Amino acid sequence: MLLRHTPEEIKERKALTVNPAKMCQPIGAMYAALGIHGCMPHSHGSQGCCAYHRSTLTRHYKEPIMAATSSFTEGSSVFGGQANLVQAINNMFTIYNPDIIAVHTTCLSETIGDDVNQICQKARDDGKVPEGKHVIHCNTPSYVGSHITGYSNMLKGIIKYFSKSTGIKKDQMNIISGWVEPSDMKEIKKIAKEMGIKIVLFPDTSDILDAPQTGVHAFYPKGGTTIPELISTGDSKFSLALGEFATDAPAKDLNSKCKVKFKTIDLPIGLSATDRFIVALSNAADVDVPECITEERGRLVDIITDMQQYFYNKRVALFGDPDQLIPLTELLVDLDMKPVYILSGTSGKVFVRRIKEILAESVPNAKVKNGANADLFLLHQWIKNDPVDLIIGNTYGKYIARDEDIPFLRMGFPILDRVGHSYFPTVGYAGAMRVLEKILNLLMDRQDRDSSEESFELVM
Amino acid sequence: MENIKKEVLPDGEMVMEDILAKYPPKVAKKRSKSIVPNDSSREQSIQSNVRTVPGIITQRGCCYAGCKGVVLGPTRDIINLTHGPIGCGFFSWLTRRNQTRPGPEGDNYMPYCFSTDMQDDNIVFGGEKKLKEAIQEAYDIFHPKAIGIFATCPVGLIGDDIHAVAREMKEKLGINIFGFSCEGYKGVSQSAGHHIANNQIFKHVVGLDDKRKKGKFLINLLGEYNIGGDAFLIEDLFERCGLTLISTFSGNSSIEQFANCHTADLNLVMCHRSINYVADMLEKKFGIPWMKINFIGANASAVSLRQIGKYFNDKELSRRIEKVIAEEMPAVEEARKEVMPHTKGKLAMIFVGGSRAHHYQGLFAEIGMSTIAAGYEFAHKDDYEGRKVLPDLKVDADSRNIEELVVEKDPERYKPRKSQEELNKLKKAGVRMKEYDGMMPDMVKNSFVIDDISQHETEMLIAKYKPAVFCAGIKEKYTVQKRGVPMKQLHSYDYGGPFAVFKGAVNFYREMDRTINSKVWGLIKPPWDSSPEITATFGSE
Ligand code: SF4
Ligand code: SF4
């Protein structure tokens, strides 16, 4: 047994987290900044955080993750990191020539109270920021919130620096993307294009974290939201924010800064959430839904129709980030599955409320927990007490899955041991079809493995 | 190394100028001292173990990573509790591939991540209370033998006294509890963390159990972390030779083994960087001599085993060692012959850790490959230039705060395993006790030695030399491969291995053949692309 010390008996914990279901803010800020074209993230703290965040993102994407650090020493921790950051900004522009440096803090620089805004200004005043180049920043204290908070904070930083309103509205809308994969961002752009809607998607990690092998390492790959696009977000007619935890606050900021009305909806994961996404797009841009999208939806529903016996009543445990878990739970309910345990390390009251609403009729007794001490240790204990047919979550779930011999679907962040997530979307109807295919493969492989010889099926 | 043609290595000074040209003057000046075109016929000196320049993209991690991840990470029966916000604990959770064999009933906390997940009110009002509660909860649920507390950046700054908490809870719960002040900003790299970890193990665990194990030749293996199962192969070899392994620091280890390690009669130092000071302390306090060995590469492994044989000066032991070497060598030779035509004359670059960048050069040489650039991520001057520089090493501001334990002879348990006379005799017989010459003397002229290499320098080296393989870590992996150059991770072995001793050498030969000669390197250019060749060309051909 890999997790041999996990007992069935659940004792209440207040202080000890075991096997966390969240990460810290800076990695989210780093990921968001990577979705801006020509941008180099910078971690203002000691080297370890930056090394950890780069390593985790690298393992997840199997792509170069370029980011720098202020390399705090004990001295900088006592006297403040101003000299380090100013020097870092100068060095980065000189050596690596980004268009933008996106600075985020760490718990070290936050604890000592470095004023990053002022330090960035000093770098500008000292002439360390070349003409036409930008340094932006956000605060990401790791002892507040989670990686999702950090992602959201970087988006707020981007809006604060770039979004401008000229007073003349452009015929375009913003889509502020929650934390999804480059493949998902591509899919969102594809859908908008099919609907004939001009959008600015930000951040946009497609064509950055799924870069092709060409024999040349493009330090700043061709993808990412560009500076003119970011500036123009202030003139967009409307913003659609996808995922309340990651994008509601940035959308609000943009509205109060540039008067861009917005609507926050779920990430379009699964049938119902994608329906709402398509309706929201169509309403906001006042366009009809094209035939091709209706057909794609029809294909998804067709798979459900054909295969629904395999989904029916299967018990599922899922963990990850709220913005994914909410629509994913809804998808499982649409499939007549039973999401019985839903857990996220990211706090926020909305989570339990939303999940309970979704499960009110189908699984009223589901266990739902998020925030402090909502960790994989607890999830495992729930499973030990009453097993499930399927686990959905990031790679760390594989330890539980193996110990308990339960099929396991990798979704979320980080996925350290498989490829595909950066290339094949889970959003939109096409994405939902992929999720369904994966769930079916797992459940049906299990049936093939476990069935007796006499009940082994050729056709399923 | 004779198979590198002269013209392959351009004049080092000129290449260096090119590399430095892009840096702001101050940075160029600093970096120039850490980049050395090698010439072992001259006195050489390299700047190392100094701060990384802010804003430069570095390989390095932090003190906490070195302390928790490297040294205590592989120890299975202790609860390693990270006191801090969640990130540090999360990212050091299972990411270092240390394998372990707890047996069906043994304790194994390695698949777990324990954290106090500090919140802002803990930062404002202090986190000691939460830490105490967390220890109590860990005790109530798991009943471990030992708990280690690891401080992250904010802990030192807000003034939490983890050692006082450890003492209090140790008293209360009656199990071994101790803390590591390994805040990420200490020192300049992971190396500081290794030191802090080893010191605390030495203070709080070593010597707690005096029971002498059965066996004639008792040894410890220091600085071997069982990545990908290396230690398992080494353990197997020891057993077949008749050597009794008391403890490994710290691959496949348990706290109990550390407690007992002072009963051994010889310490073998594998990774000089992360542990040479422990070997010194064990010698001073208990009288156990140490020798530097190297179990990477078949030749180095054979040499190391024979040195051990000579140290114990026992005919039967030497006979068994020779027998084991003779058993292992045919498979090694066969694999060598098989891959040699595909690897001979090709160039390698190695930039990792504190010892592997040296150790793996011998392994490459066994398949005819030359290492033309190498460097460490966090080593010190002695790892490059040899222990002869130790007396003159200056302690700078960043090292000053890393505790140096003052160790004295143990009044009861100090027992010199060899008399001075015996040691002199060993020296005459070619047994090198307490010696290490470092990496530089082993490297060819005009090869590059670079400490704490940056992303920019990595790119320049690749562009200039087009090596057949570049070895580093996960953060460098894809920047190298996107250039069409094969990349081998030598921290994680790319989830392969083991690469230690003879069987590991065989694995490595074949792995290199696969890495370098995979068809994919010829598939990068689409047939309709007529631009000049930009994919991997192998420098020496
Ligand atoms: S929790 Fe803080 S110190 Fe740890 S990795 Fe995150 S930012 Fe760095
Ligand atoms: S040099 Fe290598 S073996 Fe030594 S501590 Fe480093 S990674 Fe480990």
SS3 annotation, chain A? CCCCCCCCCCCCCCCCEECECCCCHHHHHHHHHCCECCEEEEEECCHHHHHHHHHHHHHHHCCCCCCEECCCCHHHHHHCCHHHHHHHHHHHHHHHCCCEEEEEECHHHHHHCCCHHHHHHHHHHCCCCCCCCEEEEECCCCCCCCHHHHHHHHHHHHHHHHCCCCCCCCCCEEEECCCCCHHHHHHHHHHHHHCCCCEEEECCCCCCCCCCCCCCCCCCCCCCECHHHHHHHHHCCEEEEECHHHHHHHHHHHHHHHCCEEEEECCCECHHHHHHHHHHHHHHHCCCCCHHHHHHHHHHHHHHHHHHHHHCCCEEEEECCHHHHHHHHHHHHHCCCEEEEEEECCCCHHHHHHHHHHHCCCCCCCEEEECCCCEHHHHHHHHHHCCCCEEEECCCHHHHHHHHCCCEEECCCCCCCCCCCCCCCCEHHHHHHHHHHHHHHHHHHHHHHHCCCCCCCCCC
Residue A41 C-alpha, separation from nearest chain B C-alpha, in angstroms: 10
Could you tell me if the CB of A46 is within 6 A of ligand 1?
no
DSSP state of B540: T
Residue A184: pLDDT over 60: yes
Phi, psi of B382 (to 5 degrees): -65, -25
Ligand 1 centroid from CA A11, angstroms: 28
Handedness of CA B496, B502, B506, B509 (dihedral sign): positive
Q: Domain check: are A185 and A98 in the same one? A: no
Q: Domain check: are A304 and A252 in the same one? A: no
Summarize the confidence of residues A321-330 as an average pLDDT: 98
Residue B537: pLDDT over 60: no
> What type of residue is B23?
Y
Summarize the confidence of residues A63-86 as an average pLDDT: 95
Does A11 reside within a domain? no
Domain range enclosing A55 = 25-162
Inter-chain CB proximity B54 and A51 less than 8 Å:
no
Does A387 reside within a domain? yes
The upper half-sphere exposure of residue A342, i.e. CA atoms within 13 Å in the direction of its Cβ, equals: 28
Summarize the confidence of residues A365-389 as an average pLDDT: 98
Q: Domain check: are A71 and A184 in the same one? A: no
- Tell me what pLDDT residue B8 has: 61
Is the minimum CB–CB distance between B395 and chain A shorter than 8 Å? Answer: no
Mutation to test the A interface, candidates B20, B52, B62, most A Cβ within 10 Å: B62
Is the minimum CB–CB distance between A59 and chain B shorter than 8 Å? Answer: yes
Does B462 reside within a domain? no
Q: Are B64 and B182 in contact (CB under 8 A)?
A: yes
Could you tell me if the CB of B491 is within 6 A of ligand 2?
yes
Q: Domain check: are A308 and A422 in the same one? A: yes
Inter-chain CB proximity A22 and B86 less than 8 Å:
yes
Is the minimum CB–CB distance between A22 and chain B shorter than 8 Å? Answer: yes
- Model confidence at B11, pLDDT cuts 50, 70, 90, reads confident
Of B58, B59, B483, the CB nearest to A217: B483
Residues of B in contact with A214 (CB under 8 A): 482, 524
**Residue in chain A lying closest to B479 (CA):** A64
Is the minimum CB–CB distance between B84 and chain A shorter than 8 Å? Answer: yes
- Ligand 2 test: best mutation among B70, B92, B278, most atoms within 8 Å of CB? B70
- More confident of the two residues B8 and A275: A275
Looking at every residue in chain A, the average pLDDT score rounds to: 97
Inter-chain CB proximity A95 and B23 less than 8 Å:
yes
Looking at every residue in chain B, the average pLDDT score rounds to: 94
- Model confidence at B13, pLDDT cuts 50, 70, 90, reads confident
Q: What share of chain A has pLDDT > 90, as a percent?
A: 99
Residue B394: pLDDT over 90: no
Whole-structure pTM value: 0.96
Nearest listed ligand to the Cα of residue B91: 1
- Model confidence at B412, pLDDT cuts 50, 70, 90, reads very high
Q: Are B296 and B499 in contact (CB under 8 A)?
A: yes
Residue A1: pLDDT over 70: yes
Of A15, A45, A89, the CB nearest to B134: A15
Number of domains observed in the structure of chain A = 3
Mutation to test the A interface, candidates B137, B169, B531, most A Cβ within 10 Å: B137
Residue B402: pLDDT over 70: yes
- Tell me what pLDDT residue B532 has: 57
Does B80 reside within a domain? yes
Ligand 1 centroid from CA B120, angstroms: 13
Is the minimum CB–CB distance between B118 and chain A shorter than 8 Å? Answer: yes
Nearest atom (ligand 1) to Cα of A107: 2
- Tell me what pLDDT residue B1 has: 42
Of A59, A62, A111, the CB nearest to B158: A111
Inter-chain CB proximity B185 and A76 less than 8 Å:
yes
List pLDDT tens digits, range B115-142.
Answer: 999 999 999 999 999 999 999 999 999 9
Is the minimum CB–CB distance between B76 and chain A shorter than 8 Å? Answer: no
Inter-chain CB proximity B131 and A63 less than 8 Å:
no
Reported ipTM: the value is 0.97
Ligand 2 centroid from CA B272, angstroms: 9
Q: Domain check: are A297 and A254 in the same one? A: no
List pLDDT tens digits, range B14-40.
Answer: 899 999 999 999 999 999 999 999 988
Does A65 reside within a domain? yes
- Ligand 1 test: best mutation among B63, B86, B152, most atoms within 8 Å of CB? B152
Summarize the confidence of residues B271-285 as an average pLDDT: 97
- Tell me what pLDDT residue B508 has: 98
Is the minimum CB–CB distance between A412 and chain B shorter than 8 Å? Answer: no
List pLDDT tens digits, range A39-52.
Answer: 999 999 999 999 99
Q: Domain check: are A281 and A342 in the same one? A: no
Number of domains observed in the structure of chain B = 1
- Tell me what pLDDT residue A241 has: 98
Of A45, A69, A91, the CB nearest to B27: A91
Mutation to test the A interface, candidates B183, B476, B478, most A Cβ within 10 Å: B478
Last residue of a domain, one of A288, A303, A319: A288
Q: Domain check: are A219 and A315 in the same one? A: no
Could you tell me if the CB of B85 is within 6 A of ligand 1?
yes
List pLDDT tens digits, range B489-533.
Answer: 999 999 999 999 999 999 999 999 999 999 999 999 999 987 655
- Tell me what pLDDT residue B533 has: 54
- Model confidence at B42, pLDDT cuts 50, 70, 90, reads confident
Residue A448: pLDDT over 70: yes
Residues of B in contact with A54 (CB under 8 A): 475
Q: Domain check: are A67 and A140 in the same one? A: yes
- More confident of the two residues B529 and A178: A178
Q: Domain check: are A93 and A233 in the same one? A: no
Inter-chain CB proximity A58 and B397 less than 8 Å:
no
Of A16, A72, A216, the CB nearest to B138: A16
- Model confidence at B315, pLDDT cuts 50, 70, 90, reads very high
- Tell me what pLDDT residue B4 has: 52
Give dist(CA B1, CA B23) in Å, integer: 33
Residue nearest to atom 6 of ligand 2 (CA): B353
Q: Domain check: are A235 and A301 in the same one? A: no
Residue nearest to atom 8 of ligand 2 (CA): B353
- Tell me what pLDDT residue B541 has: 41
Residue B108: pLDDT over 50: yes
Does A459 reside within a domain? no
**Beta-carbon pairs below 8 A across chains A and B:** 268
Domain range enclosing B97 = 63-184
**Residue in chain A lying closest to B484 (CA):** A215
Buried residues in B459-485 as b, exposed as e (16+ CB within 10 A):
bbbbebbbbbbbbbbbbbbbbbbbbbb
Does B255 reside within a domain? no
Does B81 reside within a domain? yes
- Model confidence at B2, pLDDT cuts 50, 70, 90, reads very low
Ligand 1 centroid from CA A106, angstroms: 6
Ligand 1 centroid from CA A107, angstroms: 6
Q: Domain check: are A324 and A446 in the same one? A: yes
Residues of A in contact with B99 (CB under 8 A): none
Q: Are B356 and B380 in contact (CB under 8 A)?
A: no
Q: Domain check: are A149 and A191 in the same one? A: no
**What residues are paired with A409 via a beta bridge?**
A392
Instruction: Tell me the CATH number at A106.
Output: 3.40.50.1980
Does A326 reside within a domain? yes
List pLDDT tens digits, range A248-257.
Answer: 999 999 999 9
Residue nearest to atom 1 of ligand 1 (CA): B87
Instruction: Tell me the CATH number at B130.
Output: 3.40.50.1980
